[in-house]
A and B are shown apart, each in its own frame.
Chain A
Amino acid sequence: MMNMLIVDDSSPMRSVIIKTIKLSGFGDSKFFEAPDGLTALNILRENRDIDIVITDYNMPGMNGLELLKEIKIDSMLKSIPVLFVTSEGSHARISSFMQSGAADYLKKPFTPETAKKKLNHIFGKRPYDSIVESGTESLDF
């Protein structure tokens, strides 16, 4: 069972992400929810068994990138993988995620199949196809 923290300022979007993850083969996971980066940090510091942070980028207050940077400078949190779920697909934005230490990104709109591949990749469950799938693009760094 995985413990997953879903960070998004949109309550409906958090529900959809959780529903999609459950359909992706992680139905027995426990889900924590936060509407912004600051709340997410508090949850992470109170619950040391979170396995992954799945976060939006564009949120009021602390955005997803600022949250990622806070996680990476915290010795107790920095090993937690961070998956971005974003509608912004510009090279500059995605580069900023990956260069700051994100584990991967999931571009909206996405399907349960795409989410499953991303999560399986992060948790090392099977080889990863990073190219030629809906909503997913490869980047060279």
Chain B
Amino acid sequence: MIQSLKAALKASISEVLETMFFLPVDMCEDFRPEEVPQDIQEDVCGCRVNFTGNVSGAFLSVIPETLLRTLVKNFLGTDSDAISKDQRTGTISEITNMIAGNTLSRWDRHAVYNLHLPRIVTCDAGIWDMASEDIPYQGCYVRSCEGNMVVHMTIGPPSEEPAGQGSLKRDIDPA
């Protein structure tokens, strides 16, 4: 299950970033949260999308601000350097939402699940708490010529509550 899920996650990240954000990417191999590169631990924006149903869990995207600005410009088709907070949070929310929906439908088209609304999360040191010891997780460290980012996923058993609630207390506002 985990391998097919990870393959779906990688394919989805590539499709989303290349189709709507015009950003070719390379995937890094397995990593643990403690191995996240330094540039994705400072001055970053994070977004979380929970899901519940036949499977439950969450997707977390963490993107450095410099890369996020490039993604906003590519997404909106603008050259302006005046990027608003709404554009930044809206763009990372769309990226995370698209990757989440795409991954789950690639993995199992017959799965029944509900994607929750994206939430912007604070990016302090505890952002990786969603990867607790008893919740399986998958992560992809994504390299691009414009910078690096991480997409992280937890998955658990059927539930009305998303698995890996660790970082929910850090949610600051709905995007």
Contacts and interface: CB of A to CB of B under 8 A. Distances in A.
B107 to A, nearest CB: 10
B112 A12 contact: no
B122 interface: no
Nearest to B105: A89
A27 interface: no
Contact of A90 (B75, B86, B105): B105
Interface residues of B, number: 32
B77 interface: yes
Interface residues of A, number: 24
Nearest to A58: B115
A30 B170 CA distance: 41
Interface stretch (A46-54, A70-78, A108-116, A125-133): A108-116
A134 B19 contact: yes
Contact of A13 (B19, B77, B94, B102): B94
Interface string A6-30: 0001111101100100000000000
A87 interface: yes
A62 to B, nearest CB: 13
Q: Give the interface centre of B77, B87, B98, B112 by most chain A CB atoms within 10 Å.
A: B98
A141 to B, nearest CB: 15
Contact of B75 (A16, A58, A59, A60): A16
Q: Give the interface centre of B72, B86, B90, B116 by most chain A CB atoms within 10 Å.
A: B90
Interface in A82-109: 86-92, 108-109
Given A108-B101, A110-B19, A88 B115 contact: yes
Contact of B20 (A86, A92, A108): A108
B104 A90 contact: yes
A90 B102 contact: no
Contacts of A108: 16, 20, 94, 97-98, 101-102
Interface of A: 9-13, 15-16, 19, 58-60, 86-92, 108-111, 134-135
Given A12-B75, A12-B90, 19 more contacts: A10-B94, A12-B72, A19-B76, A58-B97, A58-B115, A58-B116, A87-B115, A89-B101, A90-B111, A90-B112, A90-B113, A92-B112, A108-B97, A109-B16, A109-B20, A109-B98, A110-B19, A111-B19, A134-B19
30 contacts: A9-B117, A10-B94, A10-B175, A11-B90, A12-B75, A12-B86, A12-B90, A13-B94, A16-B75, A58-B116, A58-B117, A87-B100, A87-B115, A88-B105, A89-B101, A89-B104, A89-B105, A89-B109, A90-B109, A90-B110, A90-B113, A91-B109, A92-B110, A108-B94, A108-B97, A108-B98, A108-B101, A108-B102, A109-B19, A109-B102
